[in-house]
Amino acid sequence: MIFFALALIALAAFLVLTQRDKHPNLQQMGRYFRVASFILLALGFFTSCFVQIEAGYIGVKSLFGKIQEDVLYPGLHVINPLLTITQMDTKTQNYTMSGVHDEGTKSGDDAIRALTKDGLEVVIDVTVLYRIIANSAPKIINETGVDYQDKVIRPTARTKIRDYTVYYDAVELYSSKRDAFQLQIFKSIEVDFASRGLVLEQLMVRNISLPTPVKTAIEDKIRAEQDAQKMQFVLQKERQEAERKRVEAQGIADYQKIINTGLTDKQLEYEMIKAYKELATSQNAKVIVMNGKNAPLLINGN
């Protein structure tokens, strides 16, 4: 385009110099401007026939405002020099709506405020991951334009989140049904995006803020439930320990019962003799033998 502009300037200078003054030097300079204009026109035409599409982008062609259905994929292309090429990003993009300043796509507090089933206001931070369907890019430009984030992504996400928040209590969103809430929104937005030529890759509910009194009450409840679960664990452990001791005592009692019923006088006498023998043969042992039926004799002494 710059070559065409320069060519027009050079051609205008040529016309001015050749029409208003017949001086030979000016006539010669006018011829130079004419040659330059033709060279610039040729360069402009030549360069306009080539266009390079970068990786991760596609090119949408338009001729005098009319969008062409076919698109240009990454690479170098030879095109009609009269075409206008609009490059569009087909990589994964994100749109964040957050209550933290300068964290979201828009500066300031851009979180979504919605009412729950029990009439409480919650503040929701969300990130939407999406991408353009390449062959739907002409449709997007025709129906929406290149500012599809503000016209489709943002309003669709905010509306769907508000629509589905009213089906849940604040406590459910904060704890047990957060995943179900996120999945329900994802499925609804996914359908709307597909009809617009967009793919919803992921929807992340990053944070749900509740009014301070409600949040405190929920945290106290959760803490109480955790304490109750901890106590159940302690009681179960104590029951197991009591059962272990009972089994151990039963085993000891059974052992003593077997010993008491299985030992005879002869066996006890035999065990006593073995014990005396081991005692007598031990180092520095002294055995005193007493007269009597069961008393041992003096075996060794130092």
Q: What is the average per-residue pLDDT within 154-176?
A: 88
Residue whose C-alpha is closest to residue 130's, from 186, 192, 202: 202
Amino acid sitting at position 292:
G
In the chain, pLDDT over 90 holds for what percent of residues? 25
Residues 279 and 257 reside in one and the same domain: no
Give the whole-angstrom CA distance, residue 186 versus residue 165.
Answer: 13
The answer to whether position 159 is within a domain reads yes
168 in the same domain as 239: no
Span 149-167, mean pLDDT? 92
Are 112 and 151 in a shared domain? yes
* 128 shares its domain with 156: yes
Q: Which 3 state secondary structure label does DSSP give 33?
A: helix
More confident residue, 299 or 57: 57
| Residue 197 located in a structural domain | yes
Instruction: Assess whether 131 and 193 both reside in one domain.
Output: yes
Q: Is residue 74 part of a domain?
A: yes
Has residue 215 been placed in a domain? no
Each residue of 50-59: pLDDT tens digit?
A: 788 889 899 9
Whether residue 144 is found in the same domain as residue 197: yes
Are 107 and 174 contained in the same domain? yes
Check whether residue 85 and residue 98 sit in a common domain.
no
What b/e string do you get for 103-127 counting C-beta neighbours within 10 Å, with b at 16 or more? bbbeeeebbbebebeeebebbbbbb
Higher pLDDT, 24 or 55: 55
Are 97 and 169 within one domain? yes
pLDDT band at 27 (very low <50, low <70, confident <90, very high): low
Residue 138 burial by CB count (10 A; 0-12/13-18/19+): exposed, middle or buried? buried
Tens digits of residue pLDDT in 206-254: 888 887 777 777 777 778 888 888 888 888 888 888 888 888 888 777 7
Instruction: Check residue 3 and give its pLDDT.
Output: 45
The pLDDT of residue 189 is: 94
Whether residue 124 is contained in a domain is answered as yes
- Could you report the per-residue pLDDT of 187-209, keeping only the tens digit for each? 999 999 999 999 999 999 988 88
Is 226 part of a structural domain of the chain? yes
Question: For the chain, what is the domain count?
Answer: 5
Q: Are 297 and 195 contained in the same domain?
A: no
114 touches 209 (CB < 8 A):
no
What domain range includes position 73?
57-89
Residue 225, amino acid = E
84: confidence class by pLDDT, cuts 50, 70, 90: confident
Per-residue pLDDT at 134 exceeds 80: yes
Residues 225, 192, single domain; the answer is no
Look at residues 117, 128, 193 and name the one whose alpha carbon lies nearest to residue 162: 117
Measured CA to CA in angstroms, residue 18 lies from 4, 33, 135, 141, 299 at distances of 21, 10, 52, 47, 152
Tell me whether residue 181 is in a domain. yes
Distance, CA of 230 to CA of 225 (rounded, Å)? 9
**Is residue 25's pLDDT more than 60?**
no
Q: What is the mean pLDDT of residues 255-270?
A: 68
Would you say residue 126 lies in a domain? yes
Residue 123 and residue 178 in one domain: yes
Residue 297 has pLDDT above 60, yes or no: no
Residue 251 class from Cβ within 10 Å (0-12 exposed, 13-18 middle, 19+ buried)? exposed
Decide: helix, strand or coil at residue 141.
helix
285 versus 256: the higher-pLDDT residue is 256
Contact status, residue 158 vs residue 106, Cβ threshold 8 Å: no
State the DSSP H helix or E strand holding residue 125, giving kind and residue range, or none if neither. strand 121-132
